[in-house]
């Protein structure tokens, strides 16, 4: 089973070799590695060409700078594999990362998505491992989205953590011109998927590097607004499922409200006038699914989260947004 690994490349000269080397050193070797040089102004284009000359599995696309989504989409267009994975060029992966995914696909031929563990911020003192306690395979297509929602996938919707059947991208691409593009695309992938597996594997890890120059670290109103609109899309989808529990809705309501407050705060700091009506859909859905007091008091997620849930249960959401 050929796996196409798409690596967008832009201004990552200090990290690029470590990233590519980690992919080429995978224990699973049936790979097609697609480097997409997105008009990088440093030595990255030459490094990409160097790897093409060294390993027949490596291909390169050189294009003018168009952004992360366009770079990933360019890779999707030429990918030949039955499966597609993404690795950011300032990150790297452990040697068994893809083997763990492909073994799961071999065990469950109907699988469309495999999600793998991550060690986040590995280069900081705040490093932590995001992983599932045990492997879970969801084979009911009606539960693919709800399982992701229940495990708060919207907080870590990284496309890099997923290996996907390539047919999922037949009509889907990353949205160009927005940030938090993963959060926009992932729900659409989930809606098309027949099944998904969450892998608990001791040695398969994606190593996510924290950089102050990243979009996540420097989020301004434009970025937070994009994130908020993606959450609005997710809320609309989730609202169609009766099976989502009050506890899952409580988690989502707290997370979405936090981000909305950050969005409004950033707008104020940047002198941007924002009408709450822009978020009318999510506000109405969150209001209808806000935690009851009994749910808030039994979340068992620490006093800070419990306090937020209690406030949300007692105060109308629009008023809560004006609390300093």
Of residues 281 and 127, the one with the higher pLDDT is 281
Q: Torsions phi, psi of 150, nearest 5?
A: -65, -35
Angle subtended by helix axes 303-314 and 246-269, to nearest 10: 90
Of 33-37, 81-85, 90-94, 303-307, the poorest mean pLDDT is in 303-307
pLDDT at 217: 47
Separation CA 276–CA 236 (nearest Å): 17
Q: How confident is residue 132, by pLDDT bands cut at 50, 70 and 90? A: confident
Place of tokens 């209001």: 287
Q: What is the per-residue pLDDT across 176-189, written as a single tens digit (0 to 9) for each?
A: 999 999 999 999 99
Closest to 88 in 3D by CA, of 22, 151, 169: 22
User: What pLDDT score was predicted for residue 323?
Assistant: 63
pLDDT beyond 90 at 130:
no
The answer to whether the beta carbons of residues 252 and 260 sit under 8 Å apart is no
324: pLDDT confidence band, cut at 50, 70 and 90?
Answer: low
Per the listing, tokens 């109308």 go with 316
CA 253 to chain CA mean position, Å: 19
Q: Which of 3-12, 52-61, 279-288 has the lowest mean pLDDT?
A: 279-288
Instruction: Give the span between the Cα atoms of 163 and 161, in whole angstroms.
Output: 7
SS (HEC) of the chain:
CCEEEEEEECCCCCCHHHHHHHHHCCCCCCEEEEEEEECCCCCHHHHHHHHHHHCCCEEEEEECCCCHHHHHHHHHHHCCCCEEEECCCCCEECCCHHHHHHHHHHHCCCCCEEECCEEECCCCCCCEEECCCCCEEECCHHHHHHHHHHCCHHHCCCHHHEEEEHHHHCCCCCCCCCCCHHHHHHHHHHHHCCCEEECCCCCCCEEECCCCCCCCCCCCHHHHHHHHHHHHHHHHHHCCCCCCCHHHHHHHHHHHHHHHHHHHHHHHHCCCCCCHHHHHHHHHHHHHCCCCHHHHHCCCCCHHHHHHHHHHHHCCHHHHCCCC
Give the closest residue to 83 by CA, choosing from 164, 8, 158, 160: 164
Per-residue pLDDT, averaged over 88-113, amounts to 96
Q: Are 5 and 37 in contact (CB under 8 A)?
A: no
- Residue (of 117, 123, 89, 128) closest to 211 by Cα position: 123
Report the pLDDT value the prediction gives residue 212, as an integer from 0 to 100: 64
Q: By percentage, how much of the chain surpasses pLDDT 90?
A: 79
Q: What is the pLDDT of residue 176?
A: 96
């Amino acid at each position: 089973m050929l796996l196409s690994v798409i690596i967008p490349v832009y201004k990552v000269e200090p990290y690029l070799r470590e990233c590519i080397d980690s992919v080429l050193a995978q224990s699973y070797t049936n790979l097609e590695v697609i480097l997409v040089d997105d008009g990088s102004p440093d030595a990255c284009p030459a490094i990409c060409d160097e790897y093409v000359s060294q390993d027949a599995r490596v291909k390169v696309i050189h294009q003018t700078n168009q952004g992360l989504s366009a770079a990933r989409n360019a890779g999707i267009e030429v990918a030949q594999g039955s499966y597609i994975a993404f690795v950011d060029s300032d990150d790297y992966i452990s040697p068994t990362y893809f083997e763990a995914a492909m073994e799961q696909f071999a065990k469950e031929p109907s699988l469309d998505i495999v999600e793998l563990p991550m060690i986040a911020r590995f280069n900081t003192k705040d490093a932590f491992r995001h992983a599932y306690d045990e492997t879970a395979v969801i084979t009911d297509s009606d539960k693919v989205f709800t399982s992701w929602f229940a495990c708060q996938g919207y907080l870590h919707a990284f496309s890099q953590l997923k290996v996907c059947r390539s047919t999922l991208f037949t009509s889907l691409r990353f949205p160009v011109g927005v940030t938090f593009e993963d959060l926009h695309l992932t729900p659409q992938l989930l809606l098309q998927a027949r099944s998904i597996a969450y892998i608990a594997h001791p040695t398969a890890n994606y190593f996510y590097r924290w950089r102050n120059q990243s979009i996540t670290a420097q989020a301004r109103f434009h970025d937070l607004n994009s994130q908020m609109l993606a959450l609005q899309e997710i809320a609309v989808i989730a609202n169609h499922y009766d099976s989502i529990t009050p506890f899952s809705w409580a988690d989502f309501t707290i997370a979405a409200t936090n981000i909305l407050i950050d969005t409004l705060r950033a707008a104020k700091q940047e002198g941007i006038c924002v009408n709450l009506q822009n978020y009318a859909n999510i506000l109405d859905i969150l209001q209808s699914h806000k935690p009851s007091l009994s749910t808030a008091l039994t979340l068992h997620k620490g006093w800070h989260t419990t306090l937020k849930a209690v406030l949300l249960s007692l105060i109308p959401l629009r008023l809560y947004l004006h609390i300093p």
